């Protein structure tokens, strides 16, 4: 089993021969993580979203997955690791969006809190 994992990981690079591009979400995710590390929130969010869309190309495999009893295809069903992989890419998207939201909230100018003197108007000013 231990030799199976590296062979599947390396075989993913040859996915385009079978019109399967989902493996390429991994390098895109690595770029998105680097962008998060450098606090380039917008670029990280866009890159991670692109990676998530690329990863969803795996869904194109569903019609080709064999029925029980056939072994000619090495992916017979999607296991929890697949969903964890998608969730990890989705987490990068969520972190990027949250950072963008926090950044936009911090950049907004805040009005000073209303006090009794400002609410009643300054002395000498005409009221409403």
Domain extent listing, the chain: 8-67+75-108
Residue 23 · residue 15 · CB < 8 Å: yes
Q: Is the pLDDT of residue 101 over 80?
A: yes
**pLDDT tens profile 51-66:** 999 998 887 766 666 5
Whether this model's pTM surpasses 0.85? no
pLDDT mean across residues, the chain: 79
First to last CA, the chain: 79
**pLDDT tens profile 38-48:** 999 999 999 99
Nearest alpha-carbon partner for 66 in 75, 58, 57: 75
């Amino acid at each position: 089993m231990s030799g199976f994992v590296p062979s599947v990981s390396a075989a993913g690079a040859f996915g385009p021969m079978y019109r399967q591009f989902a493996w390429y979400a991994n390098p895109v995710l690595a770029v998105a993580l680097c962008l998060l590390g450098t606090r380039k929130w917008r670029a990280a969010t866009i890159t991670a979203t692109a990676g998530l869309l690329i990863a969803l190309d795996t869904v194109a495999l569903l019609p080709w997955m064999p029925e029980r009893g056939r072994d000619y295809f090495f992916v017979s069903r999607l296991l929890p690791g697949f969903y964890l992989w998608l969730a990890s890419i989705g987490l990068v998207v969520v972190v990027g969006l949250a950072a963008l939201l926090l950044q936009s909230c911090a950049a907004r100018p805040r009005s000073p809190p209303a006090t009794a003197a400002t609410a009643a108007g300054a002395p000498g000013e005409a009221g409403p």
